[in-house]
Structure 1
């Protein structure tokens, strides 16, 4: 078994640089480097008798070494140019970054420490996730050479991950920098969702928080990655976990992200939002400012998102801590105000209609001269008392939402149900 050292990674790198400068060790470093990249277990084992397994190696940028590394470079890092490699690297990190499963197994069997960190505070597992190969592109035909090559690279990476986990790699170790990301956070951040179940099966805390108090699910919601959301939920992630610093939930983060999208990106965002809602996300959860997902959706002005939230019984009358209703948020943007049809649908569900905040201030955009007539109409609507019948109808619609209106239909007489859910278009009043 190799000579295992316990010193910190920064000392190891420094020592490695010195040994290379001294000259005699350079050939040994080059041979070990070459053996790891070629996965020659017999040579690795022999060389470890002379080189401590946790000491870094450095190889001069010779033409032969450049050719070797270029042949080993993977498609997941198009910016990689190995001839510029000047920093010493610990053998186990080299094997992990380039997904050399046989070399990794051999090094671990000879005392390599999977928790040893590089100068950036990254463990072997972190480095492997950062260099995880991209999925095979959808434009490749099944079974063609590129597809087979990329599939093989991914299989090698998965094998390396399982080898690391089997040898006790700490799946909950955090990156030693400002982010404090766990392995799951890294996997989500870099889109390597195939590793999520493997990490979870080996004890990764699915609701672990980083320096920003965000769980992996929060991160996945923020980037609208449905595959990762599905995998994390299947692994037991709490869909209603709150970011302690802001009070945001995954649902509100997804709504915020989707509200700035259009076309296929908006459709993808809607898929994420619906996924969270169908798995129990609380549609009316409020953040530290009292805002809910429907506040965010109304400010964004995306009709499809608003309708989806209303389908799951979002409350259009809930107020923020400053007394701002969803309608108030909607009126904060000129582009929203011009969509009188969507505004009318929101007004149809609002009671009481609140156009001002707790300070009695109207949204700034509605004060623009071009909206003078609309402003006057809205103020009159807000001051007009509703009949008890209209109040009851709005309350029923808001309580049961769109999803359960067929259930209500079975409970109420047909004439009454038609009266409750019959749509009265208010758009003509806003023109």
Structure 2
């Protein structure tokens, strides 16, 4: 069915909280509908929506937890005193939204043919929002053919394209763009584009699609954060690292600025380092990210990964520390090393990599006190080797390593792998941990 056919309605109609529903939550119709939806009884839902609603644009109250209307409600004294209040949630919807959100395409078509308005916003969203949020592409296509507006905002200020935030929603996104959705339209609250949204969710196919349709790769949200920075900040789950790596590769290929900073002067490298996302850190550094960038809190990317190392054990944070140092990151101020010990006591490999980046650093009694007894016992061989250096200098082998690294400076990551020496010695020069120090 072509756009502009029977039933086309581009006018935006809002029915928000406080409206009197045609079918209130206590009605028999709503009770029957809720039971049918819970059982996923498609035939009964279709029958109710097609034959028992008052009209095709009826407002249906699916739920209402308004405590003021419940005479048996036990109210907190603070509420009665007026010190704080409760909000209630009234869930309003329409036959069109119900059909779209559950993927009932034939029922949707039936309602539209009988004059249901595709741009009616009931509660918080329209039927097109509901279809895209639930990745029902067939429903989205029917709604768009009947004139649904792809640029219409939800009550939260999001477009249908913003709601395409799962891998399954890719076809919905393609349809929206085909029907002239604005790929650079901003959300109302955070001023984010759809590119920000899919970058946050690690959706590289969506990223490709939006950039082909003219998405602005370096656009900033209200926090001055770019899509690349959004992706780096969101890459904290170990199982999703590869998805975010692909997203960032595409964004960089299209010209994303690896050194853009947000309102707190945090770069994508700061955010990737905080997440101990090794592959992202390596990608950004290969594209000339500033390894020594400082944010408003005075933190470098190295400081960020040190701070979160205790919570990122499964991501091997010492590898991120090692990479940053091999790209020329400035070391931690020696006097602050006891703080590092206290923070990273449960990650001895992180401490080892950092410790081995110095020529000589004085081990004191304060260091011993900084490591909790239970962690000392858990990693006893390493800590005994570390604290033994309080009364002895570093080995000649280590001093040679430091001299070589000082010579190579910021090119350690490039030059050391090229040296015609055994692999184990290259690893030693690159600060590969050995679980002991000497």
TM range (shorter): 0.5 to 0.7
Report SS of the residue matched to 1:29: coil
Work out whether residues 92 and 107 of structure 1, in 8 Å CA contact, stay in contact via their aligned partners in 2.
no
* Aligned match of 2:27: none
Identify which of 329, 341, 344 aligns with 1:333: 344
Identify which of 253, 263, 279 aligns with 2:271: 253
Aligned-partner Cα distance in 2 for 1:363–1:240: 39
Q: Unmatched 5+ residue regions in structure 1?
A: 59-86, 135-153, 259-268, 411-416
Give the drift of 1:287: 2.3
Aligned-partner Cα distance in 2 for 1:184–1:330: 40
Aligned-partner Cα distance in 2 for 1:126–1:426: 47
Aligned-partner Cα distance in 1 for 2:17–2:352: 71
Q: Unmatched 5+ residue regions in structure 2?
A: 25-50, 59-93, 236-240, 310-315
Work out whether residues 239 and 276 of structure 1, in 8 Å CA contact, stay in contact via their aligned partners in 2.
yes
* Aligned match of 2:279: 271
Identify which of 390, 415, 428 aligns with 1:404: 415
What CA deviation, in whole Å up to 9, does each residue of 1:217-246 have, x standing for no partner?
22222324222222222232212222222x
Work out whether residues 358 and 402 of structure 2, in 8 Å CA contact, stay in contact via their aligned partners in 1.
no
Give the drift of 1:401: 1.3
Does structure 1 residue 195 correspond to structure 2 residue 190? no
Give the drift of 1:336: 4.2
* Aligned match of 1:218: 229
Identify which of 107, 116, 120 aligns with 2:156: 120
Work out whether residues 57 and 117 of structure 2, in 8 Å CA contact, stay in contact via their aligned partners in 1.
no
> Alpha carbons of 1:243 and 1:407: their partners in 2 closer, same or farther (altered >3 Å)?
same
How many residue pairs align between the two structures? 338
Work out whether residues 313 and 399 of structure 1, in 8 Å CA contact, stay in contact via their aligned partners in 2.
yes
Aligned-partner Cα distance in 2 for 1:363–1:161: 61
Identify which of 16, 19, 28 aligns with 2:56: 28
Does structure 1 residue 102 correspond to structure 2 residue 114? no
Does structure 1 residue 159 correspond to structure 2 residue 174? yes
Aligned-partner Cα distance in 2 for 1:335–1:213: 35
Identify which of 331, 338, 349 aligns with 1:317: 331
Work out whether residues 316 and 350 of structure 1, in 8 Å CA contact, stay in contact via their aligned partners in 2.
no
Work out whether residues 229 and 271 of structure 2, in 8 Å CA contact, stay in contact via their aligned partners in 1.
yes
* Aligned match of 1:172: 184
> Alpha carbons of 1:244 and 1:374: their partners in 2 closer, same or farther (altered >3 Å)?
farther
> Alpha carbons of 1:334 and 1:28: their partners in 2 closer, same or farther (altered >3 Å)?
closer
> Alpha carbons of 1:343 and 1:94: their partners in 2 closer, same or farther (altered >3 Å)?
closer
Report SS of the residue matched to 2:151: coil
> Alpha carbons of 1:393 and 1:302: their partners in 2 closer, same or farther (altered >3 Å)?
same
What CA deviation, in whole Å up to 9, does each residue of 1:169-199 have, x standing for no partner?
222223333x443212221333433211222
> Alpha carbons of 1:293 and 1:355: their partners in 2 closer, same or farther (altered >3 Å)?
farther
Aligned-partner Cα distance in 1 for 2:434–2:170: 59
* Aligned match of 1:141: none
* Aligned match of 1:290: 298
Identify which of 192, 216, 231 aligns with 2:250: 231
RMSD, matched Cα: 5.1
- TM-score, normalising length from structure 1? 0.59
> Alpha carbons of 1:427 and 1:196: their partners in 2 closer, same or farther (altered >3 Å)?
closer
> Alpha carbons of 1:194 and 1:309: their partners in 2 closer, same or farther (altered >3 Å)?
same
Does structure 1 residue 365 correspond to structure 2 residue 370? yes
Work out whether residues 3 and 53 of structure 1, in 8 Å CA contact, stay in contact via their aligned partners in 2.
yes
Work out whether residues 278 and 320 of structure 2, in 8 Å CA contact, stay in contact via their aligned partners in 1.
yes
What CA deviation, in whole Å up to 9, does each residue of 1:301-360 have, x standing for no partner?
8332233333x423343659xx746x86356432345x5xx655544431574889xxxx
Work out whether residues 328 and 411 of structure 2, in 8 Å CA contact, stay in contact via their aligned partners in 1.
no
Work out whether residues 53 and 107 of structure 1, in 8 Å CA contact, stay in contact via their aligned partners in 2.
yes
Aligned-partner Cα distance in 2 for 1:292–1:335: 22
Give the drift of 1:380: 6.3
Does structure 1 residue 186 correspond to structure 2 residue 197? yes
Give the drift of 1:280: 2.4
* Aligned match of 1:413: none
- TM-score, normalising length from structure 2? 0.58
Give the drift of 1:206: 2.2
